[in-house]
Each structure stands twice: as C-alpha cells, then as structure tokens.
Amino acid sequence: MALAIEMIGIRKVFPGVVANDNVNFSVEEGEIHALVGENGAGKTTLMNVLYGLYRADGGMIKIRGKEVNFHKNADAIALGIGMVHQSFKLVPSFTVAENITLGAEPRKNGVFIDQKAVRESVVDISQRFGLEVDPDAHVRDLPVGVEQRVEILKALYRSADILILDEPTAVLTPQETDELFEVIRSLVKGGKTVIFITHKFREVMQISDRVTVMRDGKVVATKNTKDTNPTELARMMVGRDVLLRVSKTKANPTNVVLEVKHLKALDNRFLPALRDVSLTVRAGEVLGIAGVEGNGQRELVEAIVGLREVIHGSIELYGQDIAHKSVRERRDAGIACVPEDRYVRGVALRATLEDNLIVENYNRPPISKGQVLDLNQIKDYSQRLIEEFDVRTPGSAVPAFTLSGGNLQKVVLAREIDARPKLLIVAQPTRGLDVGSIEFVHRTIINARDSGAAVLLVSAELEEVMSLSDRIAVLYEGDIVGTIDADKATEEGLGLWMAGITDGHQSQEARPAVTGGEEVSRE
C-alpha cells in the first residue's frame, strides 16, 4: 500500500528537553493508525511538526512520497493534513458555519463573505460525511461532543484526507466515543487516513489498523494491531516488563484520618465532575485512586485540598468538617499535597528554591517570627531539605526553572513531607520522571505511610497504583465504582471497573473492604 506520510529522523528540541529524538513514523493510505505513549512521550510534538505548527530541528517529512518543507501550518493544511487538537480551537461567539469555514471562506466579488455559500457548503459537507450539525448554532452553546464534530468538519472542509485526532476521546462520554468511532470508520471508508493519538489500549484495539508506540521522544515500535495485545503495548509504553515493585511491609492502618462523604463538585465548565464520592483513608495506609484520566481525579484532589468549591457533601479530617475551609486552614490542619501540575501548582518556576520550599511554613516559627522572615533559618532549612531529598542543584537561591523535572518533584515532595502531614495527597507523582526519580518518589511515599501519615494516591498508571496502594478505589465518571484491597486486586478486574463495568466478580468482594463504616449509598 502507498504511504500517506513518511517522517524520517525527526528531531525536535525545546529548551532543556528533547521532545522528539530521531523519530521515524509512517502511515499508510487509508488506515487508522494509533499513536500511543505516556504523557510527555512526544506524540503531540510529533504531530505538531507534521501539522506545521512546529518546525523540526532535523529530519525529513514526505507526504504521498514527495518531500515537503512546511514553513507554516497553512502549508500542511494545503497538502490535505487536518488536525483536531485535544483542546478545541473554536471561536465561541461565531456560528458553527463560520467556525468551519474560517480562514477559507467562500467569497462574493472577491471582498465579501458569501454567507449563503458558507452555509451551503457546511450543510453539504456535514451530510456527505454523516456528521450532523446545526450550521447556525453558536459554538458557545454546544456540548463537547458536537464541538468535536465541528472540529472534524473544519478539517474536512479544508479537504483534509489525512486527519490527526489528538486524544479525541479524553473529553467524551462512552456513548460519544462510540459515535466518534463510527464517524472515523465511515471517514476511512470514504478514503481518508486517520492518525489517532491516545493512551487507552482498549481504543487502540477497537479502532486501529496499526499502532506506533512512543516513549521518551523515541518510537519503540510499529505493529499491526491484530498482532499485538494490550499487555505488549503497555510493556513497550512504560519500557519495563513489570513496574519496579516497591518493597514495603504490610500496612498497619489505625484510626480514620480522612472521611469524604457524598462529595459533589463541578468541573471548570460547571458540569458535574464528582457525583457522589465517599471514601475513607486511615493513618498508616495508602489508598490508591485508579481510573482513566478525566473521570474526576483532578477535581477530587482539588476539592480536598481546598482549591475547588464543594457543592454538596462533607470532607472530614479527624472528624472535623473542612469542606468549606481555606487552603491555609486545611494545610494547618495537617493536609499536604503533591499536585498533578508540578510546573503550575507545585512550584513557582521563576521563584528561587528557597521561596518554593517555604510556602508551606513561611507563616510560623522558626521560618518567621511575627511579620519578619528569618533569612538564615530559611537558608538552613532549604539546605537541609535539599540534602535530605537529594535535590541536584547548584544552590538554594537558584530559580526553580533551572532544575530538571525529577529534581523539581523532589523539591515539592520535600516541602510537603517535611510538613509532617496527617494526610498526604499525591497526584500523578511520577509523571514524566526518569526511573531513578520514580524509585525515589515511591520510596518517599511509602516512608510517609510508615511514619503514620494517611496517604491518598491518585495516578493514571495502574501499575503504580497497584504497587503502592494498600487499598484501591476506582473512579469512573465522578463516582467510586468500587474499592478493593490491593492484594486481592487484579489488573483485569480493575480494568473492568475503570471501564465502568461494576457487575464483575470483584465488586461483591469490594464493598465490605470499604472501611470506616461508610455506606456507599445511592439514591
């Protein structure tokens, strides 16, 4: 079969990071090609190079056998490449038709927009590919699934025949995902080629013809989908057969530290993100929250830490409801958190390490007395933490952005753990870290547990959740579908829960495992 795309030896460097390192990637005409890898593996960068948004620092791109050189992304569009980004690029106050035709509007007399032709061509193209939209609706009023359809139509309108979909299912409900897959299949039948970026194996197996796995900016392998299986894909993606099992003793849980009851919260679009979440964490245990990203994990952490409004329900720390207290009050009550967005929430990149390290305790002795900060104490304190947590840095007064990701995560851990929290929340703690740092982070989390903290671990890496947790709860569409002791959990069983299937064998065992006398009640 003819090659639609051939990318040879692509290299792309960002300051401090090699995002793509000698990547070879090819897609055949008329196939659905899945591109998988962990966050930060370089998938999106590679596609942005293909789409002309980034210029590669090295390598060659061939489209249908012809070498091309994109100066701007209009060049890529002209050659029939279309991309649907993970975050949609739509103009909210424009109509669907205006959004679809933007940048390539049919004209009248050369200077005016031909409104009739705009509408007609949108109706025409949406009928031709069976993607129903109301051309006159304003985009700001549309649900996400329809917005995505508008995005696909945008590409089709520009007669794209190579379509890149960047994690298209991340924002969709299962039904919408099924609909999207139907659309993709019909597109391919109509002669299009589709590149499908994802990190969900189920989708790879379900939809793709071939699959390319990326890790750390390199391509690991390209396979026919029917010749591979999720386990193999997982192994290639994480680059190790079994995750380094953390050596830990059995948990010795004592009294209840955190009790969340019937928690309800909204996401940034004011849609329900947590519907009715109840969970309990005891001192000396790790409760792992597993689940596909975007099922409410982020909102759960933010609600407990105090960054997101609690609409309904309670969050009790040692029996005291803290659901409506400020972040500072919660921190002072003994909550610490290693946040998911290390570079946004975890550190202030332009601030020095010292300033980053004292944000938790700057308001009390010995760091400050009255209103005045003790600079010597700050220096000593920072240097102690830097040493204890083995942060590789030339000094404590350098700005945070000079450090690598792993070292920054150590800075965050050092700060949060040195606060001796009663409840430690860790969200996606090893994302984007090298193996050495991962080990360190894992050991630190277990140490915190053993010294008596209650640990709530949220991670998209199932292996990580399984190896660190004492109990595992699975979050699906804003609900806990089940909780189970880690030593009874299997990857398959958790996988079913993560897909929202609750009538499996595990759930019956799971319910009693929910400790703390809580009733999982549903109206």
Residues 148-177 that bind other proteins (CB under 8 A): 154
Per-residue CA distances from 189 to 119, 152, 185 (Å): 26, 16, 6
C-beta closer to other proteins: residue 135 or 346: 346
C-beta closer to other proteins: residue 204 or 385: 385
Beta strand pairing call for 368-369 and 256-266: unpaired
- Contact call for residue 59 and other proteins (CB under 8 A): no
C-beta closer to other proteins: residue 152 or 486: 152
The interface region with other proteins, picked from 27-35, 66-74, 239-247, 484-492 by CB under 8 A, is 66-74
Residues with Cβ within 8 Å of 454's Cβ and at least 6 positions away in sequence, in order, are 257, 258, 281, 282, 283, 284, 285, 287, 422, 423, 424
CB-based burial, 333-372: b 16+ in 10 Å, e otherwise: ebbbbbbbebeebbbeeeebbbbbbbebbeeeeebbeeee
* 24-53 positions binding other proteins, by CB under 8 A: 48, 51, 53
- Contact call for residue 522 and other proteins (CB under 8 A): yes
3-state helix, strand, coil in the chain (%, to 5): 35, 25, 40
Beta bridge mates, 272: 266
* 255-284 positions binding other proteins, by CB under 8 A: 262, 264, 266, 270-272, 275-276
Residues with Cβ within 8 Å of 13's Cβ and at least 6 positions away in sequence, in order, are 19, 57
Quick one: how far is CA 104 from the chain centroid? 33
* 308-347 positions binding other proteins, by CB under 8 A: 311-312, 326-328, 330-332, 337, 339, 341, 344-347
Q: How far is the CB of 145 from other proteins (least distance, A)?
A: 16
The interface region with other proteins, picked from 2-10, 111-119, 222-230, 451-459 by CB under 8 A, is 111-119
For residue 297, the surrounding DSSP H or E stretch is helix 297-305
User: In the chain, what's the furthest Cα-to-Cα distance?
Assistant: 79
Residues with Cβ within 8 Å of 109's Cβ and at least 6 positions away in sequence, in order, are none
- Contact call for residue 145 and other proteins (CB under 8 A): no
Given 112, 254, 420, 450, the residue binding other proteins (CB under 8 A): 112
Give the residue carrying structure tokens 């590679």: 46
Given 9, 14, 390, 451, the residue binding other proteins (CB under 8 A): 14
Whether 137 and 170 have beta carbons less than 8 Å apart is answered as: no
Given 104, 144, 205, 513, the residue binding other proteins (CB under 8 A): 104
- Cα–Cα distance, 33 to 30 (Å, whole number): 9
C-beta closer to other proteins: residue 249 or 376: 376
- Contact call for residue 371 and other proteins (CB under 8 A): yes
- Contact call for residue 488 and other proteins (CB under 8 A): no
* 73-102 positions binding other proteins, by CB under 8 A: 73-74, 77, 83, 85, 89-94, 98-99, 102
C-beta closer to other proteins: residue 74 or 221: 74
Number of residues that bind other proteins (CB under 8 A): 82
- Contact call for residue 144 and other proteins (CB under 8 A): no
* 426-455 positions binding other proteins, by CB under 8 A: none
Question: Does the CA dihedral 403-404-409-410 come out positive or negative?
Answer: negative
- Contact call for residue 215 and other proteins (CB under 8 A): no
Q: How far is the CB of 58 from other proteins (least distance, A)?
A: 10
Tokens read off for 522 = 């549903």
